[in-house]
Structures are given as C-alpha cells and as structure tokens.
Structure 1
Amino acid sequence: MKKLHVSGDKISIPQIGLGCMRIVELTKKDANHLINTSMELGINFFDHADIYGGGKSETLFSEAVSMSALSREKMILQSKCGIRKGFFDFSKDHILQSVDGILKRLNTDYLDILLLHRPDTLFEPEEVAEAFDYLYDSGKVRHFGVSNQNPMQMALLESALHQPLLFNQLQFGIMHTGMVDAGLNVNMKVTSSIDHDGGILEYCRLHNITIQAWSPFQYGFFDGVFLNKEKFPELNAVIDRLAERYKVSDSAIAVAWISRHPAKIQTIVGTTNHKRLRQISEADTITLTREEWYEIYRAAGNILP
C-alpha cells in the first residue's frame, strides 16, 4: 500500500484508511477478520469517532483486535470528538473527557491522531490549545487535526495552537466535488462557481495539511452509493469501462480518482466486507490519466467552462 508522508514526514499513513463507523454491526469474529484483512493489505490506519455506535464501535474494535494480539505499534489509530446530542463542544473539559473515554474503549494508552469533529462556533482557540497541550505533553495524543472545517476556522484555531493541524477530514468523491468545482469555475456565473468551502483544497495544499476524504462512494449527504446505481448510467458506464481496462473493481476506480489528485488525499472507506476491502485496495495499483480523471468528472454531471 502506497504511503503518504504527512507534513514533512511527521507521520506516514497508507493512501487508504478503514473507517470504523459501522464496525459495530459485525460480530467480534467478523470484525477480527476485517481488521486482519486490512492489516494484511497494508491498510493499518483505522478511523474512529466517539459517537460511532455511541462508543460501541471503539469497544468492539479493541475486543476484535485482542483476539489476534496485533501489535499496537503497527497500527495507526485515529478518533474524533466534539459532537454531542444537539450541539457541538470544543471545550477543554469535553475534549479531555472524550479522549479518556476513547482511550479506555480502544484499550490503548495513546491515539496517533485526534480530530475535532464538526465545527463548534462557540469554541475558544486558547481553550482548545490548553487541551491539546495537555494531551500532547501527557502522551495521550501524538498528532492533531480537524474535520469539516474551512480555512478561516483552521487559521483561527491555529493562531493559539502549539501543535500543527495535520489533517482535515472532508466529504469528497466523484459525486461530491464542491471543493474542486469552485476552482474550475472561477469568474463564472454558474452554480458550480459558488465556493462553499473557502478554498479549502488550496489552503490544505499550501499548508501541508492532508485531506481525508470521507464517504467516497456516496452521493448527496448519505443519499446512497452511486456505484451500480441506475440513477447514474453515464457515470457507471465510464467507471465500468475503466475498471475493465485496468482489471480492477469499480470501487477501486472511484478511489483511484480521488488518489489521482495531486493534493495527495487519503481516502477513508467504511466497508465492513473484507472481500470488498480487497477490491478497494486495488486502487493502489493504478494511476488514472488526466484524460480519464476529467472523463469521470464530466460523466458525473459536471460541465467544464
């Protein structure tokens, strides 16, 4: 599995990570099989959040890992906090309490990466900095990042931090291309020219921040998977043709499309099927051409100016 070297090689991560939101749906035996398959494929990056399964996803993960006695040092564990029932909370107390709960459920002494989940408009940068300082100095968290934040939110937070923000987890994929659309339609009076993200793609590239693409196979906001969907015949025809050309699965083409971008985006896939994970991992073996990348982009319904 190809590696991404984050911000001057502060940490090396696989090009594909396994999202563990739905792992709670599995038995311990099946979860163990999925995790072992992931490690075998070189996908040693596991993405969690304290709200996944109400914390049960993290607990099941640790129980499944213990069945194989896998080496903690060979795994990269990431989790997220900040979402509470009905509101967001980046207060120092909540961040510290959340991390303690995450560590207990994952049965580990430290997180490789902590992300702040959805933005909290009431956050105080200095308060977050105090929480991060404590977590870093105590060895509980080694690296930090955010999720679903725009450039100004990140810059405001970084103004008080002593640790760099290395990651921003954002929804991105063939059918969710807002942060690409705006850049391709500059100075145009079309809907695609509307910048909903504040130039987040370019900001992350300029500041050596690794984007993690979540829900890469979804269209809309959890409206469903676009692969093999009758609603998108032109797109699937192109994807299927390229899958045949490269002798890989359609899901591998969808991930390869994300990986082709020079921003060096990490794709977080949430499959709980070990066979499909193998198919997805085939994306690591191919590099789409510029022409193929744009052909897929246009087949998804995008019009170039």
Structure 2
Amino acid sequence: MKYIKIKGTSLEVSNIVMGCMRLNSLDVREAQRHIETAIAAGINMFDHADIYGGGECEELFSKAIDMKSRIREKIIIQSKCSIRNGYYDFSREYIIAAVDGILKRLHTEYLDILLLHRPDALMEPEETADAIRSLKKSGKVRYFGVSNQNPMQIELLQKYSEERLLFNQLQFSLVHTPLIDSGMAVNMQIGQSVDRTCGTLEYCRLKDITIQAWSPFQRGFFEGPFIGDMEHYGELNNMINHLAEKYEVTPSAVAVAWLTRHPADIQVILGTTKDSRMLEGCSGSWIPLTREEWYGLYKAAGNMIP
C-alpha cells in the first residue's frame, strides 16, 4: 500500500480509502470482517458522511470495530456534512450539530477529517469559517476539507478560515475525466476543450490539496460500472484486460492504478462491500503504469489525444 504524507500535518494516509456509503447493507459481523480486511490490506482511512444510510453506516462502523482506543488510534476517520433534505447547508448551527451527531454515532471524541459535502450557494463564508474555528478549538475535528468544489469556491471559504483546507473529494474515473480533459485539448474548438472544472486539478496541486476520487468504477453519475461493459466501452475493456494480464491483477486494479499513477497523489475511495473487490482495488495502489499505457487507457475511453 502506498501512503501519502499530507503537507503541514501529522497525517500519513493510504492512497486507497474504504468508502462506507453502503456499509449498512452488511450486518455487524460482516462489517467487522470487511473493515478488518481493509486494515490488513494496509488501508488506514475510512470515509463516511452523515447522509450515508441516514447515519446508520456510522453507527454500524462503530459497533463493528468497537471503537476501542487501540483501534481508533491506528485509523483515520473522515466524515462529511452539508447535504440535507433537498438542499445544502453550510450554516454554523447546522455544521456544529451535524458533527455532534457524527461523533455520537461513531462513538468517538474527534474526527480526523471533516469535509463539507456539496457546495452551498447560500454560504456565508465568515459563518462557515467560524464553525470550522469552533470545531478545531474544541478538539472535535482535527483537519478540514471540501467535496465537489471548484477553486473559487475553495478560495472564498479559505479567505475567512485560518484552517487550511486539505482535501477535495471529486468524481474521477477512467470514464469521468473532466478534471483533465480540457488540459489535453487546450485552445481547440472541440467539446473536450471546454473547461468544466475551472482548473480544479491544477489548483489543488498548487495549493497542496489532496484530491480524493469517488466512483472510480462508475460511468456517468450512477449508471453502473464501466468494467466489463463491452457495449459502451469495448476498446477500453480490451486494453484494461490486456494490462490486467501483464501486471497479474484484475481489471479493477488497473482502473485504480490509472488514478494512482497520476503525480497529484490522488486517493481512491472504494465503496464496495465485498472483501474480494476491495482487495482487487488495493492491488492498484502501486502498479507502475507507463506513460504509454496511461495515455492509451485515456484514449481507449473515448478521449482525444491531439
């Protein structure tokens, strides 16, 4: 497992993260086994959100590992808040209450990382920054970040927050590549040249913000996996299968390796509840794809390399 040192912090995180969005589909014993499998594979970071299972996933996680100090000290727990019933909320009152609820469900005194889940168009940055300040001072949250935000949204909040925003969780996979598309086709009159992210990838690298890739196997928003989908991605799957044979791994590992090969030190969030699939994904942590292979996969996914 490859680990990433987060600059300016004491955090050293695995580049593969166990996502807990569907954890409540397991019973306590199954969840315990799944978490222990992740830890044995070298994963030290676990991603939650207050909306996952309406809080059930956080509760189940704490029951499954019994949140004993000897275990808690070895793992990094991240959770997210801001998505409510049909709207987003960055108000101080909501964020403070949301974190209290998260801590109660997880049976822990602190979160290692809190992310603001989806941008709130009605954000008052001074108020949101005050919530961050309060959570840091109280010891309830150690580090902070955002999710699904562009550079100017981050800059607006960072202007008022003395706590550096360290993470940005974004959808990114071999078949969802807006983060790099326009950079591949600068100044060309084609759809790929349209900058849909405002230079988010480059901005995060400049600011030492770690990108966390969610839905690494999905096409579209939640339209199903692209691995094995020969109808829509035949050429891509043929190349993935070829590389899987070369590196003696599964296709899932190749899809993960395409992300981890990027020099931005991207973390990949695996949301599976199957032990075998998680271990397959972990195999992509260190695969040294060549430039030719990396660009070849990008092109096979239907993109232009001018």
Q: What's the TM-score bracket when you normalise by the shorter of the two chains?
A: over 0.9
Counterpart contact for 1:32–1:67, Cα < 8 Å: no
Matched, 1:54 2:57: no
Cα distance in 1 for partners of 2:282, 2:299 equals: 25
Match of 2:103 in 1: 103
Q: Give the Å deviation of 1:280.
A: 1.2
Q: List runs of 5+ in structure 2 lacking aligned partners.
A: none
Distance across 2 between alignment mates of 1:144 and 1:49: 14
Residues 208-217 or 64-73, more deviating: 64-73
Letter in 1 for 2:289: L
Amino-acid identity (%): 56
Pairwise CA distance, 1:80? 0.2
Partners of 2:22 and 2:187 lie apart in 1 by: 41
Alignment coverage as a number of residue pairs: 305
Counterpart in the other structure of 1:180: 180
Q: Give distance in 1, aligned partners of 2:157 and 2:129.
A: 8
Residues 82 and 117, structure 1, Cα contact 8 Å, conserved in 2:
yes
State the SS of the aligned residue for 2:160: coil
SS of the aligned residue for 1:245 comes to helix
Letter paired with 1:31? A
Whole-angstrom distance in 1 between the partners of 2:288 and 2:23: 30
In structure 2, the residue matched to 1:38 is 38
Distance 1:112 1:184 in 2: 36
1 CA distance for matches of 2:65 and 2:81? 22
1:59-110 CA distance string (max 9 Å, x none): 1111111198861010100000000001100000000000000000011000
CA contact 1:32–1:68 (8 Å) conserved in 2:
no
- Counterpart in the other structure of 1:83: 83
In structure 2, the residue matched to 1:258 is: 259
Quick check: 1:256–1:283 contact (8 Å CA) kept in 2?
Answer: yes
What residue is the counterpart of 1:29 in the other structure? 29
Deviation at 1:10, TM superposition (A): 4.0
1:113-153 superposed Cα distances (whole Å, 9 cap, x missing partner): 00001100100111011111110011100000000000000
Give the RMSD, CA atoms, in angstroms: 1.2
Q: Are residue 2 (structure 1) and residue 15 (structure 2) matched?
A: no
Aligned-pair CA distance for 1:9:
4.6
The DSSP-based 3-state class of the residue aligned with 1:168 is strand
**What is the Cα deviation at residue 284 of structure 1?**
2.3
Q: For 1:142, what is the secondary structure of its paired residue?
A: strand
Aligned residue number for residue 159 of structure 2: 159
| Structure 1: gaps spanning 5 or more residues | none
Output the amino acid matched with 1:282.
S
- The aligned residue for residue 241 of structure 1 is 242
Paired residue type of 1:220:
G
TM-score when scaled to structure 1? 0.98
CA distance in 2, matches of 1:270, 1:260: 20
CA displacement at 1:47 relative to structure 2: 0.1
Q: Which amino acid aligns with 2:87?
A: F
Give the AA of the match of 2:6. V
